[in-house]
Amino acid sequence: MRSRFSAFARGDIDYLLASWAPETRPARFASDPQTQWHTLTVVSAQANDARGEVHFLAVSRQDGQWHCLEERSRFRQEGGHWFYIDGDPVLTTLSPGRNSPCPCGSGAKFKRCCGG
Ligand SMILES: [Zn+2]
């Protein structure tokens, strides 16, 4: 899961496709170079035999707009590797206040960081 997030952040399409279950893997997949991924928060993760589910929040920035992607992803384990099956992504736009923590995850106030 985290490795897929880093692959998204790096734009590593080969890795993303390789860790995608064949039955749901898209024939073609392009990452958006305009989107910068910042933080990943795993809300919960559970694995049961060869099935896994990860509920996560991922914060990204595109053209100065902050978004939070929330998804419950389903995974399957095969040959010691986890494969992404599918999920139910919900994208919301964030409007950070000047004094709220910066969504980039720096720990600084928004106005002293990306919002400055
Ligand atoms: Zn920031």
Tell me the average confidence (pLDDT) per consecutive run of 10 residues in the chain, 116 residues long. 87 93 92 90 93 96 95 95 95 96 96 94
3-state secondary structure 4-52: HHHHHHHCCHHHHHHCECCCCCCCCCCCCCCEEEEEEEEEEEEEECCEE
**Ligand 1 mean position, distance from CA 34 (Å):** 17
Which CATH number do you get for residue 9? 3.10.450.50
Residue 16 corresponds to which tokens in the numbers above? Answer: 């993303």
Output the pTM of the full model: 0.87
CA 54–ligand 1 middle distance (angstroms):
26
pLDDT for 2: 81
Q: What is the dihedral of CA 72, 76, 81, 82, to 10 degrees?
A: -10
Distance from Cα 75 to the centre of ligand 1, integer Å: 31
Q: Print the domain residue range for 31.
A: 2-112
**Count of the separate structural domains present in the chain:** 1
